[in-house]
Chains A and B, each alone.
Chain A
Amino acid sequence: MLELRNVTKSVGGADHIRDVSLELRHGTLNVLLGPTLSGKTTLMRLMAGLDVPTEGSVWFDGVDVTGVPVQRRNVAMVYQQFINYPAMTVYENIASPLRVAGAAREIIDREVRRAAEILRLTPFLDRTPLQLSGGQQQRTALARAIVKNASLVLLDEPLANLDYKLREELRAELPRIFAETGAIFVYATTEPHEALLLGGNTATLAEGRVTQYGPTIDIFRDPVDLVTARTFADPPLNTIVLRKDGHSFLLDGGARLPVPAGISAIPDGDYTIGFQPHHLSLTSPGPGAVPVKGTVSVTEVTGSESFVHLVFAGQRWVMLSRGVSIFEPDETLEVFIDPRHLLVFDSGGRAVRSAARTAA
């Protein structure tokens, strides 16, 4: 298990990582999700031993490894920029960690070919990295991480520079590849959709803090605060500040949104309501759905889905609907909010959760 205990990293008086505590188990996939500059790379460098925390400690399998340099840890790293030895063939690039470890020739050959097969590099083993496309170069770097058989594998936006489809395929394979090794697998990304496809656990990062850690889908559905909900929404989370009065939140135009049953006892006052774009729809999703009228700003169609950007009471919202729905700018559109999936946040941005959800 990799443990971070109250880790803080300051550079020139500015906190890049603030009081982070995490426990990552062997054989698990852990996503670090957050925007650029939220601290993902810094956190990985602390995990790897490339940097030493200003405060707090790092433990590996019960041993305090704070200050132990990366060379003395069994860590593999893959970066967004492809890093290979330009003068070596792909074969030798993949083989390099095994050569350093003094492995037997037959073992090296077997492992290199196995990794090359997984990453579809077999036809390119005799080439040098500069004769490869970006995707092939990154696959070479990933193959090297695989043969290293490291106990901690850190992947820093490894697929960001790859083709969309290749990304989709590697993303599906990576968890399986690394799960077999029993390593602790840490994967940094800015993309919520990528986190959801990878599954596993997710730690959401905002301004150097881990705001929540747990099973990926649980965090998506049940974020502890508004910052986490926003970090984990693509398309962006729809939000609006509403006044609670009795059993409902008051909307512009006289409509009322029912307060979710589990939290009906919260005091009256202002709350931020959030909901995902697919919980706004053109037709009523069922009894209790609340109709509101918005003004269309732009429609984006992917063929399978449509993203309708609209403005309601000064808020920019996105509606995600299946199929093709095209609306003209400035058109008034009646849409339905599904009250079963409302997220409610207090004035401090903390999620107001039902007792059942909080216990779970």
Chain B
Amino acid sequence: MASIELDHIRHSYGARPKSPSDYALKEVHYTFADGGAYALLGPSGCGKTTLLNIISGLLQPSEGRLLFDGRDVTHLATEARNIAQVFQFPVVYDTMTVFDNLAFPLRNRGVAESEVRRRVHEIIDMIDLGALADSKAQRLTADSKQKIALGRGLVRSDVNAILFDEPLTVIDPHMKWMLRSQLKHLHRRVGFTMIYVTHDQTEALTFADRVVVMYEGEIVQIGTPEELFERPRHTFVGYFIGSPGMNLLPVEVEGRVARLDGLAIDLPAAVAIPPGARAELGIRPEFVRVGREGFPATITKIEDVGRHRIVRATLGGREIAAIVPEDAEIPSDPRVSFEPRGINVYADSWRVETEAGL
């Protein structure tokens, strides 16, 4: 396993980039720690796949260096980087059995057969294909084939890193639960450096110790799931993580009060907005209370999604979403209030630190 250092990396698919917008990947400077589990999360076109391809060697960056444990690998071919990769669509050898598919990366490197058996049996149990060990891969469903691909990515213990590119997209929800928790379990036990690219927030947040959120070729925040949820640094993180995403209300801030169309919302601490900056109050639906206290609101829609309800309402002329627990009462003349700890203030889309240090 190795640490992976991205040293001022930039990438443009065009030959002569002039402005920052010509870069698919704007400057990225970060080190993935040895043994860490990371997710690269963002919408399509955000640069996450470009970054993964630079790490795997599929792409040479236009600028900057890539180092594995301090060693410059920027110009090394993929094969020379000693990494395992799992892709969105299964890559399996149809004519081989499930067992032989999993054993392939080990036998290829001359691993002793007893060790091959031990590793393959461990992995085959994890992906729950033990009963099909001797079946030819071609007879299996797409789902099972992807499990083989996943298993093959995990079977070697001597790789620098394992890279996953949307590996669970084609897997059924129930199997996703099992594979995800087993991947996590395996990571805790073996400590591989893992980098996992996905657009699915649940996968990213549950898999990774630290999630790297990307937007328009830039890293906008790196944090634990809790940090990304409670303190989004950028309004994009607030919007992209969470379902529904963070409510954003245009406000005017005066010290400890935010004004929204005549409503005065108390802030947990005073904030200073730079002159001329656009101020917004961000509050996640989980921190919006619907009850008998607070500002009068008009409910436009209630979506019952089983474990809770998503209440859509109008407050101060703005749409706002609230998450209300399954059994909670919603009054006929509802009022809306904000939990202070869930309030964030943004100036030109970036979070403003409060004086209280919240």
B206 CB contact (under 8 Å) in A276, A297, A302, A329: A302
Contact indicator B180/A300 (Cβ below 8 Å): yes
Smallest Cβ distance from B5 to chain A, in angstroms? 27
- Shortest beta-carbon distance, A276 to chain B, in Å? 7
Please report the C-alpha to C-alpha distance between residue A197 and residue B309 in the assembled complex, in whole angstroms: 10
What's the minimum C-beta distance from B245 to chain A, rounded to whole angstroms?
A: 8
Q: Mark A150-187, 1 if CB is under 8 A from B, else 0.
A: 00000000001101111010000000000000000000
A37 interface residue (CB < 8 Å to B): yes
A6–chain B nearest beta-carbon distance, Å: 28
Q: Which one, B177, B224, B306, contacts A217 given CB within 8 A?
A: B306
A303 touching B306, Cβ below 8 Å: no
**Which residues of A have CB within 8 Å of B240?**
165
Say how far B170's CB is from chain A's closest CB, in angstroms: 8
Interchain CB contact (< 8 A) of A190 among B172, B201, B227:
B172
Question: Which chain A residues numbered 280 to 338 have a C-beta less than 8 Å away from chain B?
Answer: 297-298, 300-304, 307, 309, 318, 320, 322, 324, 329
Q: Are A302 and B201 in contact (CB under 8 A)?
A: yes
In chain B between 190 and 204, which residues have their CB closer than 8 angstroms to a CB of chain A? 199-202
Find chain B residues with CB under 8 A from A37 CB: 141
Q: Are B185 and A298 in contact (CB under 8 A)?
A: yes
Whether B306 contacts A235 by the Cβ 8 Å rule is no
The chain B residue sitting closest to A320, CB to CB, is: B307
The answer to whether A164 and B306 touch across the interface, beta carbons within 8 angstroms, is no
B222 to chain A, nearest CB (A): 14
A329 and B188 contacting across the interface, CB-CB below 8 Å: yes
Bound Cα distance from A322 to B286, whole angstroms: 9
Residue from A164, A298, A300, A318 in contact with B200 in the complex, judged by beta carbons closer than 8 Å: A164
A335 to chain B, nearest CB (A): 16
| Pair B305/A193 contact, Cβ less than 8 Å | yes
Asked if residues B306 and A165 are in contact (CB atoms below 8 Å), the reply is no
Q: Does B79 make an interface contact (CB < 8 A)? A: no
B residues within 8 A CB of A196? 304-306
When distances are taken between beta carbons in the complex, the residues of chain A under 8 Å from B181 are 297-298, 300, 309
- Contact assessment for B229 and A236 in the assembled complex, using a CB-CB cutoff below 8 Å: no
B239 within 8 A of A: yes
Residues from 194 to 228 in A contacting B, C-beta threshold 8 Å: 196-197, 199, 217, 220-221
Over the window 134-163 of chain B, the binary record of Cβ atoms lying under 8 Å from chain A Cβ atoms (1 yes, 0 no) is 000000011100000000000000000000
| Residues 206-225 of B at the A interface (beta carbon under 8 Å) | 206, 224-225
Q: Tell me, yes or no, whether B335 is within 8 Å of chain A by CB.
A: no
CB–CB A304/B284 < 8 A? yes
CB distance from B352 to the nearest CB of A (A): 21
A256 at the interface (CB under 8 A from B): no
Give the distance in Å from the alpha carbon of A249 to the alpha carbon of B326 in the complex.
25
User: Do A166 and B43 touch across chains, with their CB atoms under 8 A apart?
Assistant: yes
A326 and chain B: residue at smallest CB distance: B226
CA distance A146 to B143 in the complex (A): 32
Find out whether the CB atom of B44 lies under 8 angstroms from the CB atom of A133: yes
In the bound complex, CA of A135 to CA of B44 (Å): 8
Q: Which A residues are CB-close (under 8 A) to B123?
A: none
Q: Are B141 and A303 in contact (CB under 8 A)?
A: no
Shortest Cβ distance from residue A54 to the other chain B in the assembled complex, whole angstroms:
23
Q: Which residues of B contact A126 (CB under 8 A)?
A: none
Q: Is A56 part of the binding interface, using a Cβ–Cβ cutoff of 8 Å? A: no
A36-B143, A135-B44, A163-B199 known; A301+B225 contact, CB < 8 A? yes
Note all chain B residues with C-beta closer than 8 A to A278.
Answer: 306-308, 326
Known: A36-B143, A320-B307. A236 touches B174 (CB 8 A): yes
Residue contact B185 to A304, C-beta cutoff 8 Å: no
Contact (A304, B229) CB under 8 Å given A199-B303, A298-B185: yes
Complex interface: chain A residues within 8 A of B250 (CB): none
Give A322 to B230 CA distance when docked, in angstroms. Answer: 13
CB closest chain-A residue, reference B223: A303
Counting CB contacts under 8 A, is A134 at the interface? yes
Chain A contacts for B188, CB-based, 8 A: 298, 329
Query: Does B243 belong to the interface (CB within 8 Å)?
Result: yes
Task: Considering the complex, give the chain B residue whose CB is closest to the CB of A301.
Answer: B225
* Docked complex Cα distance between A306 and B201 (Å): 14
Q: Is the CB of A163 within 8 A of B43?
A: yes
A 32-61 binary contact with B (CB < 8 Å = 1; else 0): 000111000000000000000000000000
Report Cα–Cα, A135/B143, bound state, in Å.
23
- Which residues does chain A contribute within 8 Å of B303, judged by CB atoms? 197, 199
Knowing A302-B225, A304-B286, say if A36 contacts B142 (CB, 8 Å). Answer: yes
Let me know if B244 is at the binding interface, CB within 8 A.
yes
Q: Shortest CB–CB separation between residue B61 and chain A, in angstroms?
A: 22
The 5 closest A-B pairs by CB, nearest first: A303-B229, A300-B206, A303-B225, A278-B307, A302-B205
A-B contact pairs, 22 of them (CB 8 A): A35-B173, A133-B44, A134-B44, A135-B44, A164-B200, A164-B201, A165-B43, A165-B240, A168-B243, A190-B172, A193-B173, A196-B304, A278-B308, A300-B205, A303-B225, A303-B226, A303-B228, A303-B241, A304-B284, A307-B206, A320-B307, A324-B225
Further contacts, 18 of them, CB under 8 A, given A199-B304, A304-B229: A36-B172, A134-B44, A161-B169, A165-B43, A166-B43, A190-B172, A193-B173, A234-B173, A235-B177, A276-B307, A278-B307, A278-B308, A297-B185, A300-B181, A301-B205, A303-B225, A303-B230, A324-B225
